[in-house]
Amino acid sequence: MKIWSLNEIHKFLNECKNERNYITFLLAIYTGMRRGEILGLKWSDIDFDKKVIHVNRSLAYVPNKGYILTTLKTKNSKRQIPISDNVVKELLIHKAKQEEWKKRLGKAYEDNDLVICTEMGTMQDPRNILRVMRRLCKSSGVTAIRFHDIRHTHASILISSGVDIVKVSARLGHANPKITLEIYAHLLPNIQDNVAETFENELNKHQ
C-alpha cells in the first residue's frame, strides 16, 4: 500500500486543476470512493442542500458486455457520504461545464445524468482515467500510486487525525469495521500506550 503525503495531494490537485478529469480525482481524494463508484455516480445521487453523496451503483467490467452500471456488491457499499463545502462548490463548477458541453453538442449529446462522463455524455472508460493519472503523477513529481491507493490515502488521513474507525468504515463502505481495522491497523501503533493511564485517571476522578 502506497499513499500520498498531504503535500503530494496538493501538488497533484494543482497539477490537474485544468484537466477534464479534475473532479474525478478530487472526489477520490475527498470521499475515498472506489473508482467504479465515482464513474457510476449520477447527479440525482447528490443532495447539494444536505451536502451528501448517495452511493448507489458502480461502473464495472462484465465479460462479453464491456463496461456497464451495476448494483453494489454489499449492502454496506450502498451508503451516504457527507461532503464538504469545497467539494459541493467544485461539483457545481463541473456541472456548469457539463451544461456547456450539452449546449454545444445539442442532440448529439447523450445525457445519462452521469457526473463523470465523456464530452459526448457517454460513460468514461476507467482505463483512460488511469492513463491520465500516470501522466499527472509524473508531471507533478508525486509518488506513482494506483487509483485505489487514493482511497487508502483518504482513510489514512482520517485515521491519523483520530476519526473513529467505525465512522471511517461506514464512509468507505466496508462490510464491517473489522475489515477496516485489519487494513489500517498499522496506523494505530500506539493505541494501547495510554490505556492504563486513561483508566486510572477516570477512576481517580470519582474518589
CATH number of the domain enclosing 74: 1.10.443.10
Question: Sorting pLDDT into bands at 50, 70 and 90, what band is 206?
Answer: confident
SS3 115: coil
According to the model, what pLDDT value does residue 192 have? 57
Inside any domain, residue 24: yes
pLDDT score of 40 more than 70 = yes
Inside any domain, residue 54: yes
pLDDT score of 189 more than 80 = no
Residue of 70, 46, 66 whose CA lies nearest to 58:
70
Are the beta carbons of 173 and 55 closer than 8 angstroms?
A: yes
pLDDT score of 142 more than 80 = yes
Inside any domain, residue 1: no
Inside any domain, residue 182: yes
CA distances from 201 to 45, 193, 196, 198, 205 (A): 46, 14, 9, 5, 6
Phi, psi of 169 (to 5 degrees): -60, -45
Question: Sorting pLDDT into bands at 50, 70 and 90, what band is 202?
Answer: confident
Phi-psi region of 66 (alpha: psi -120 to 50; beta: other; left: phi over 0): left
Domain that holds residue 175: 6-205
Question: Sorting pLDDT into bands at 50, 70 and 90, what band is 48?
Answer: very high
Are the beta carbons of 69 and 57 closer than 8 angstroms?
A: yes
According to the model, what pLDDT value does residue 203 have? 85
Mean pLDDT of 29-34: 98
SS3 154: helix
Phi-psi region of 122 (alpha: psi -120 to 50; beta: other; left: phi over 0): beta
For cell 473508482, the residue is 35
Q: Is the pTM of this model over 0.75?
A: yes
Mean pLDDT of 195-202: 80
pLDDT score of 145 more than 60 = yes
Inside any domain, residue 87: yes
Q: Which residues contact 38 (CB under 8 A, 6 or more apart)?
A: 24, 27, 28, 31, 115, 116
Phi-psi region of 173 (alpha: psi -120 to 50; beta: other; left: phi over 0): left
CA atoms of 101 and 96, how far apart (whole Å)? 9
Positive/negative CA dihedral, 95, 97, 98, 99: positive
pLDDT score of 114 more than 90 = yes
Inside any domain, residue 164: yes
Inside any domain, residue 44: yes
CA atoms of 201 and 93, how far apart (whole Å)? 51
CA atoms of 198 and 202, how far apart (whole Å)? 6
- Count how many domains the chain has: 1
Per-chain mean pLDDT for the chain = 93
